[in-house]
């Protein structure tokens, strides 16, 4: 015969649902507030994202859109992503406050560095992409323009590509942080990473060749920081990795 669930046994589950609802509500309100703030400065936000290509546009060229609602929906996408980015500290805090009671004290000590350093490395990757990669990338594409070929990029495609590049580089720059936690857990060590260095360097140049124009300068500009991140990961794994037991 099934055991009857007492009211006091249901309460923790109900209280968790109530807390989750409240924290989700706070996150939604934070995003809404950030969206309203973003909308007040929408022209600056839009121009910031369009600036990398606008700088290299030749005279007479411009962005275009073919569907009636395309421009508005594209800009709306930019505003939403910007609002989520601005409100991310509140979202991260609410998530942390919800899961923290179920963690051990040792686990909690790793969360604050994870949030801070994760945000730092991601922002560094985005800045590197915006100010280093994109100028070379878009200048190369525009170089194929001529008197008879005028670049008029589709607004939606350009914004999608730009956001994708920013996110990709943001996550690529998380490599040292991933190495730190994997080394702490004993999954990898600095010797393993050092042995795989040649493959990592090759992967860095292959990746740079895929996402940059086919000229050696731009490929080196992208590949060297990626290689540097891998070398930093080796150093981090060496000093912060799980200590290996001495062989008897």
pLDDT at position 183, please? 84
Q: Does 247 score more than 50 pLDDT?
A: no
Closest CA to 46 of 54, 56, 34, 57: 54
Yes or no: say if 179 and 237 are a contact pair by the CB < 8 Å rule: yes
**Annotated domain spans of the chain:** 10-173
Residue 10 has pLDDT above 60, yes or no: no
What is the share, in percent, of the chain residues with pLDDT greater than 90?
22
Mean pLDDT of 213-223: 76
Please compute the mean of the pLDDT values over residues 179-206 and round it to a whole number: 86
CB atoms within 10 A of CB 229: 20
Q: What is the pLDDT of residues 59-114, one digit of tens each?
A: 778 888 888 899 999 999 999 999 998 998 888 888 888 887 777 777 677 777 77
Report the pLDDT averaged over residues 6-34.
Answer: 80
H/E segment holding residue 148: none
Please tell me the chain's helix, strand, coil percentages from 3-state DSSP, rounded to the nearest 5. Answer: 75, 0, 20
pLDDT at 246: 47
pTM: 0.77
Rounded CA separation 233/188 (Å): 11
- CA dihedral sign, ordered 135, 138, 206, 181: positive
Name the band, by pLDDT with cuts 50, 70 and 90, for residue 188. confident
Label residue 149 exposed, middle or buried (CB < 10 Å: 0-12, 13-18, 19+): exposed
Cα 138 to chain centroid distance, Å, stands at 21
Average pLDDT over residues 177-188: 82
């Amino acid at each position: 015969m099934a055991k009857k669930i007492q009211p006091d046994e249901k309460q923790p589950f109900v209280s968790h649902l109530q807390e989750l609802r409240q924290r989700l509500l706070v996150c939604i309100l934070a995003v809404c507030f950030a969206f309203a703030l973003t909308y007040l400065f929408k022209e600056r936000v839009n121009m910031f994202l369009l600036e990398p290509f606008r700088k290299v546009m030749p005279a007479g060229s411009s962005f275009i859109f073919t569907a009636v609602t395309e421009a508005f929906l594209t800009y709306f996408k930019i505003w939403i992503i910007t609002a989520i980015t601005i409100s991310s500290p509140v979202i991260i805090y609410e998530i942390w406050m919800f899961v923290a009671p179920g963690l051990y004290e040792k686990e909690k000590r790793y969360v604050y560095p994870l949030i801070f350093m994760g945000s730092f490395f991601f922002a560094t990757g985005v800045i590197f992409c915006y100010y280093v990669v994109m100028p070379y990338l878009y200048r190369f594409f525009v170089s194929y323009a001529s008197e008879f070929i005028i670049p008029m990029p589709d607004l939606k495609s350009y914004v999608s590509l730009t956001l994708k590049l920013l996110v990709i580089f943001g996550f690529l720059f998380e490599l040292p942080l991933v190495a730190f936690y994997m080394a702490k857990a004993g999954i990898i060590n600095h010797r393993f990473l050092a042995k795989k260095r040649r493959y990592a360097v090759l992967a860095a140049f292959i990746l740079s060749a895929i996402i940059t124009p086919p000229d050696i300068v731009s490929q080196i500009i992208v590949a060297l920081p990626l290689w540097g991140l891998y070398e930093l990961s080796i150093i981090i794994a060496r000093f912060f990795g799980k200590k290996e037991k001495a062989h008897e």
